[in-house]
Amino acid sequence: MQFEVRLASDGSSVTRGRSDRPTAGNMIITQSILPATDYEVRAQYVPSSPRDMLWSDWIAVTTDDIRFSLADFDAALNAQVITIRDALSDQIREALNRIASVASDVAARAPLNKQSVRSQLAARVGDALGQIDDVRTVAVTTEAAYASFSTTATATWGSTTAFVENSATAIATLDGYAAASWGVSVGANGVITGSIRIDGGASWSAVTIQADKFQIQLTGYNGNAPIGVFTVGTVNGVAAIGINGANMYLDGAIFARMIAAGQITASLMAANSITAGNGAIQDLSVQSLKLADFAVTVPVAQTLASNLFGGGLKNYFSFNVTVDTTGLSGKTIPLSVFLNAKWANGGPATETGTFELIVNGTILDAYTVSVGSGGFAFILSSVSPNFTGTGGVVTIPVVARFTAGVNTAITAGSTISAQAAKR
């Protein structure tokens, strides 16, 4: 089951994801979700045997007001950090979306070649049932190669059921993209209680673990009993991670975005011992103050609110990054720009588009993409130019533009972000 969440106020995309076991009945979504905010959510069932499925209607929801007080952190600053973070390219999300898209294409269109093997082994006596289901599918379309398998072992006695599922999917596309996903889920009575999932692409990988406890065992010690290193639960309704602090040693620095007020008690903290992403101090007296290089950043982020159709040369993002360089004359100031856009072809034939990312009047990234009828391509780009401080206000224009046919469009939800670091 894959899902999408958007803001109810302007329809901008907030987060996307999927669950490999919809029979669990529910899941908690926390990534990029803010308290006391109106959202809309929809879902689509992704079957193990590929076939075309429709999205549900958008359902309006409002999150509970569980914000911390000002003594804990500045909610506005935290929201800004989340906005900038979510504007960046999410490789895991792209891989899952691409896998789901190829699976849908295999179901909706006639593949050039498709083979499926299904098997079932079952034993039943009265109310007791032991069963193993295995489904394996391979397919090739004009734009992608697809392979998947799913094996589920289920034991049932009356109304009590336990299961374990092992599934994997791999894709390779015409435009040079490759990704794979593998996972194992265990549960009882229709609810997933634990899972491990590995997602990977050409140059990255990620491991996602769903569990109440994470344990390790050192052979020959502690009576060969495992030690619970991490415990996952909730504190005041918010997901939290507990770390077993007994005999815990850290050889290195601690970097934190937030430490709750009143949680550190110490008679002495040595200089240079704390590095934090942000902080709020109600009353501060300092004998001397130094700001390190890159200590101050100037961020800008935009999201495309509606589809922008082609037809000649068009800008789909255009804005200025303004940086006050007072006291920084002659200093080198880096600027990082990240583009994550989606280009769709709604025409009857293959379309070719040219895409350019321009910073301060110079084309820093440009390439051409071709997409078949009904298909889409992700337009991903990141550049890091430098500019020199003048001692005054410096304005740097950033433009993302494309040239393509009128039947194509840069779709709503595409994002761009830029951030300058003042030295």
Residue 219's pLDDT band, with cuts at 50, 70 and 90, is confident
Torsion 265-269-273-276 (CA) sign: positive
Domains in the chain, please, with CATH? 289-423 (2.60.120.40)
Contact (Cβ atoms closer than 8 angstroms) between residue 403 and residue 354: yes
pTM for the structure as a whole: 0.40
State how far the alpha carbon of 410 is from the alpha carbons of 105, 303, 418, in Å.
20, 11, 19
Note the pLDDT of residue 70: 45
Note the pLDDT of residue 356: 96
Contact (Cβ atoms closer than 8 angstroms) between residue 412 and residue 376: no
pLDDT digits (tens, 9 = 90+) for 112-161: 898 989 999 999 999 999 999 999 999 998 889 999 999 999 999 999 99
Note the pLDDT of residue 89: 47
Contact (Cβ atoms closer than 8 angstroms) between residue 213 and residue 222: no
pLDDT digits (tens, 9 = 90+) for 76-108: 555 655 654 554 446 777 777 888 888 887 777
pLDDT digits (tens, 9 = 90+) for 5-53: 999 988 888 888 877 766 667 777 777 788 888 999 998 887 766 777 8
Lowest mean pLDDT segment, chosen from 68-72, 179-183, 189-193, 378-382: 68-72
